[in-house]
Structure 1
Amino acid sequence: MDKKIARAKGLQARALLSLKERNQKSHVVSQEVISRIHAGMVIGCYVSIKDELNTSEILKYCFANNITVCVPKVVENTLQFYQIKSNHDLVPAPFGLLEPNVTEMIPVQKIDMMIVPLSSYDSKNHRTGYGKGYYDSVLLNCRNRIGVAFQEQEVDQIDVESHDITLDEIISA
C-alpha cells in the first residue's frame, strides 16, 4: 500500500477511537513498554499530542524511577534528543508539540530503547510517520526501536523505500 494511503488510513482509524478507548489502550501498551525498562537504561520517547498513543505513563515511570529519558526536538531539520527530568522541562513548540527546553543533548547511539510514534504500521514492522522523515535518519543509528500504536492503525502492507527503517517491534493494543 502506498505510504500516503497507509498514513491516511492509520490516522483516520486513530481519530475514530473514543478518548476512553485511547486511554485504555495507551495504558495497556505503556505497561508492556514499562515492563521492558530496567535501571541504567537510556530511553528515547516522544511526547504524545492530540490523539496519539499517550506516552505520559511511560515518561512518569522513568521520572519516578530515575531512568534517563530523552525526548525529541527538531534542530535545523534534524531530530535531536535531549534529557528531561520532569514535564517542567517541556515547553510549547510549533504544531502543538511539546519540546525540551534543556541543553543536555544525548547522542542517539547512547539510547538503549527508542519509543517511536507512527501513523500506521504493518505486520512486518514497517511504519509510516507523519511524512517528514525525521525518525528514519535517527532510527538508522538506534537499537531496540519500538513502535507504539493502536491496533486499529495496522494496515495490510506498507510499500517501503530504501531509506525506510524497519522497527524491531511494534507494541499495540
Structure 2
Amino acid sequence: MLKAELRKKYMQKRKALSSDEAFLLSEKILDHFLDYFKPEKGQKVHVFIPIEKFKEINTGIFIDAFLQNNIRVFVPKVVADDLISVEINKDTAFETSGWGISEPISNEDSGELHFDYVITPLLYSDAEGNRIGYGKGFYDAFFQSISGASKKIGVNYFSPDEKIDDVWENDIPLDYLVTPTEVLSFFKGEE
C-alpha cells in the first residue's frame, strides 16, 4: 500500500481505540521494551512526548520508568525547522506547543549525538522497518544527525501486516519495532 493510504488507515484504527485500550496497550509496549532491551542506569534514551489528540503511545509511563531508574532522558523539541534534543528530569518545566505537544520550556539543545535508544513515533511500520510518520521528515533528518550506533526503535499498537510500497531514498528504517505482542528486529540474523 502507499504511505498516504496506510497513514489514513492507521490513523483511523488508532482513533477507534478507547483511552483505556490505548493506555493498556502502551503499558504492554513498555513491558516488552523493558524486558527486551533492559535499559540500565546512566544510559541515554531519546523518547518522544505523545500527541494526545492523535492517541499516540503513552510514553509518559516510559519517561517515568526511565527517570525512576536513573536513565537519562532526552525529548525532542522543534525549534524553527529543526528537531533538537532537550535533556529532562523530574523538575523540568513544560508548555504546550502549537501541535498540542507538551514540550520543555527550554530551547537548549543538549548537543547529544549518541543515544542508547531512540524511541520513535510512527503511524505504521512494515515488516522491514520502514516507517510512516506524519510526513514532515523530522525523524529522518534527526536519524542522519545522530550516531549510527543509536538503536532506532519504533513503538506501535499494530503489527506490521502490510508492506509500504513507496519507500523513498531518504527514508531511514527502524532497527526494532515494539508492539503490545512482540519485539521485532530488522537486523539480519537477529530475532
8 Å CA contact retained: 2:26, 2:57: yes
Once residues 108 and 162 of structure 1 are traced to their aligned partners in structure 2, the CA distance between those partners, rounded to angstroms, is 26
Higher percent of residues as helix = 1
1:8 and 2:8 are equivalent in the alignment: yes
Residue pair 2:86, 2:110 contacting (<8 A) in 1 also: yes
TM-score by length of 2: 0.84
- Which residue pairs with 2:153 in the alignment? 146
Contact 2:130–2:173 (CA under 8 A) maintained in structure 1: yes
1:90-149 Cα distance to aligned partner (Å, 9 max, x none): 211112111112354233522110000001111111111111000001122342000001
- Pairwise CA distance, 1:54: 0.6
CA distance in 2, matches of 1:162, 1:87: 41
After TM superposition, the structure 1 = structure 2 runs for residues 95-110 of structure 1, keeping only pairs within 5 Å, are 95-110=99-114
Q: Does 1:40 align with 2:47?
A: no
CA contact 2:27–2:61 (8 Å) conserved in 1: yes
- Tell me whether 1:163 sits opposite 2:170 in the alignment: yes
- How far is 1:87 from its partner? 6.6
Q: Is the 8 A contact 2:40 2:69 kept in 1?
A: no
| Counterpart mapping for 1:129-144 below 5 A | 129-140=133-144, 141-142=146-147, 143-144=150-151
Contact 1:120 1:155 in 2 (8 A): no
* Contact 1:68–1:83 (8 Å) recurs in 2: yes
> Which amino acid in the other structure matches residue 157 of structure 1?
K
In the alignment, the residues of structure 2 paired with residue 53 and residue 127 of structure 1 have an alpha-carbon distance, to the nearest angstrom, of 15
SS at the partner of 1:14? helix
| Structure-1 separation of matches of 2:17 and 2:157 | 9
Give the ranges of 4+ consecutive aligned residues of structure 1 lying more than 3 Å apart after TM superposition: none
1:46-78 Cα deviation digits (max 9, x unpaired):
011221111111100112122110000011201
- State the one-letter code of the partner of 1:156: E
> What code does the residue aligned with 2:22 have?
R
Write out per-residue CA displacement over residues 31-60 of structure 1, whole angstroms, 9 at most, x where no aligned residue. 222332112211000011221111111100
Three-state SS of the structure 1 residue aligned to 2:135 is coil
| Deviation for aligned residue 1:10 | 1.3
TM-score of the two chains, using structure 1 as the length reference: 0.92
Q: Between Structure 1 and Structure 2, how many residues are aligned?
A: 172
User: In structure 2, what is the Cα distance between the partners aligned to 1:31 and 1:150?
Assistant: 13
- What is the RMSD computed on CA atoms of the aligned residues? 1.6
